[in-house]
Amino acid sequence: MSEGTKGLSRRDTFMAAAVAAAGTALPGAALAAGKAPSRKVDVVVIGAGFAGLTAARELVRAGRSVVVLEADGRVGGRTKAAMLAGERIDIGGQWVGPSQTRLLELAKAYGVTPVPQYTEGDNLIDIGGRKARYRGEVPGLAPADLEVFGAAVARLEAEAGQITAPRPWLAKDAKVWDALTVETWLQANVPSDPARELIRTLIRAVMSSEAVDVSYLCFLGYIASAGGLGPLISTRGGAQDSLFPGSVWQIAAKIADELGGAVVLDAPVSRIAQDERGVTVSSAKGAWRTQRVIVTVPPAMAARIAYDPPLPAQRDGLTQRMPLGSVIKVVLAYARPFWREQGLSGMVISDRTDFGPWFDRGTPLTRGGALVGFFDGAPARRWADRPATERRAKVIEDIALYFGDEARRPVDYVEEVWTRAPWQRGGYVSVPGPGVLTGFGPALIEPVGRIHWAGTETAEAWAGYIDGAIRSGERAAREVAMNA
Ligand SMILES: Cc1cc2nc3c(=O)[nH]c(=O)nc-3n(C[C@H](O)[C@H](O)[C@H](O)COP(=O)(O)OP(=O)(O)OC[C@H]3O[C@@H](n4cnc5c(N)ncnc54)[C@H](O)[C@@H]3O)c2cc1C
């Protein structure tokens, strides 16, 4: 410990080091000197993802003064745009489904229109060592395995039907379900290797997590939040139904434009201090004094903020137990969508490859063809720290396994390693293991004094999705309005 940091608590030392590293004046220095921060607003919103931006939009419309403090140098959070072969595409969240009405309404309000996901032709499935082509939404397993899969889906749907999102811990059997992982449930209840493997693959595809890491209650809650397993995993009519030419991210950018100077970038919040009269929020861009705070960052990232007084044990415990899933998203451009010429839809589900699933991602703006896919869960963890050139080679090798040599000649390639993104550290969503929702669940949404919690993880519907983020932002804005 240096002379200068002697006498400081461990947390103070960390704060001083973090601030020195950011090269800024000490956040809250004005307070330390006995002065109130000069900037005052009615509400401070932390995070400029869809939850934060919609919360701020609602509050500004209701006549409140707001600042949105965003750690990153851009808005959008887990949505982000990238350029691929001259087209602006999404390298984070992208799809929208018909029951995701809040995202659809917001898109309409900003003049952004979705187009259907391309689904013509055959999908490919390669699970449990058996390859098949199939059409539509019923996966091409062998008949006996499909029967077991169908029974598992029916049971999942029935049990999810007993859950009221976003409070799965209130279900009658919550404690029993929360004592299991999806993996233990699969081993006890799904007597077919390929059906189990398909469900593991689907868990990776919808939660970027391994079945062994996910509480069975959490999975049921996720299904309930989406209105059923069908809406969650289906392309046509489900969460992968449509996408936005020019990106979904542009909606976030348009809201931020509307909010203008109220959005402050490169402003990671390091401390939230509450007293009887209000709250002081300290960031790398200085401190703000306010009446209410809406924290929209996912629980694991919220745990990296210091709180004074310290958070209640339940809330702090929750934030220690809700890791984000692991995901790397990749989009490739080709001179032509050659798979379409082979009668293929572009969609591949495989347990043989590390990369996958993948889909056609053509829109009317796409010149040539494009594919989008993911490393999810354990494969994302395996590949996140490898050199980008190795990842690219692996993606191309995996696609070529099913689409042939033409897949080896992309004209462009972009990727985002979300697991390493400094201010997101993963995606698509935070995933609690066993015991967390029943032990700590209520702390996900219950305000702590003047601090309100939002973010897709807290949504009453479509938790984990952009639509859920919007719903949570709007709910938190209502909560603040009621308490003002
Ligand atoms: C690869 C990928 C694919 C996805 N695909 C889809 C899809 O197709 N459809 C769909 O609906 N959803 C999809 N999702 C999920 C969707 O993107 C998220 O659910 C949604 O964007 C979450 O929004 P949010 O506002 O709740 O949180 P975030 O977007 O995470 O916003 C939180 C913000 O807080 C900021 N922040 C963090 N710490 C601090 C701090 N200390 N101070 C200030 N700011 C901070 C972050 O930088 C971030 O901007 C996907 C996600 C990923 C990663």
Ligand 1, pocket residues at CB < 6 Å: 46-52, 69-72, 77-79, 92-95, 268-269, 296-298, 301, 305, 327, 329, 418, 423-424, 427-429, 455-456, 464-467, 469
On the question of a cis peptide bond just before residue 118, with omega within 30 degrees of 0, the verdict is no
Predicted TM-score (pTM) above 0.85: yes
Residue 212's CB: how many other CB atoms inside 10 A? 15
Q: Which CATH superfamily is domain 145-233 in?
A: Guanine Nucleotide Dissociation Inhibitor, domain 1 (1.10.405.10)
Question: What three-state secondary structure class fits 437?
Answer: helix
Which pLDDT does position 124 carry in this prediction? 97
In the β-sheet with 115-116, what is the strand arrangement from edge to edge? Answer: 95-96, 242-243, 115-116
CA 201–ligand 1 middle distance (angstroms)? 22
**15-76+250-311+448-483 architecture in CATH?**
3-Layer(bba) Sandwich (3.50)
Q: Ligand 1 atom closest to Cα of 462?
A: 11
CA 427–ligand 1 middle distance (angstroms)? 7
Please provide the DSSP assignment of 255-271 as one string.
Answer: HHHHHGGGEESS--EEE
Q: Ligand 1 atom closest to Cα of 48?
A: 49
- Distance from C-alpha of 25 to C-alpha of 203, rounded to nearest angstrom: 45
| Torsion angle of the four alpha carbons 31, 448, 221, 49, in this order, in degrees rounded to the nearest 10 | -30
Buried b (16+ CB within 10 A) or exposed e, 331-364: bbbbeebbbbeeebbbbbbbbebbbbbbbbbbbe
Q: Enter the tokens of residue 53.
A: 């931006």
Which pLDDT does position 302 carry in this prediction? 98
Ligand 1: which residue has its CA nearest to atom 19? 465
Residue 169 CA, chain-centre distance (Å), reads 21
Q: Ligand 1 atom closest to Cα of 418?
A: 53
**81-119+240-246+325-420 architecture in CATH?**
Alpha-Beta Complex (3.90)
pLDDT tens-place values along the chain, 484 residues long: 333 333 333 333 333 333 333 333 333 344 444 455 679 999 999 999 999 999 999 999 999 999 999 999 999 999 999 999 999 999 999 999 999 999 999 999 999 999 999 999 999 999 999 999 999 889 999 999 999 999 999 999 999 999 998 899 999 999 999 999 999 999 999 999 999 999 999 999 999 999 999 999 999 999 999 999 999 999 999 999 999 999 999 999 999 999 999 999 999 999 999 999 999 999 999 999 999 999 999 999 999 999 999 999 999 999 999 999 999 999 999 999 999 999 999 999 999 999 999 999 999 999 999 999 999 999 999 999 999 999 999 999 999 999 999 999 999 999 999 999 999 999 999 999 999 999 999 999 999 999 999 999 999 999 999 999 999 999 999 999 988 6
- Domain extents for the chain? 15-76+250-311+448-483, 81-119+240-246+325-420, 145-233
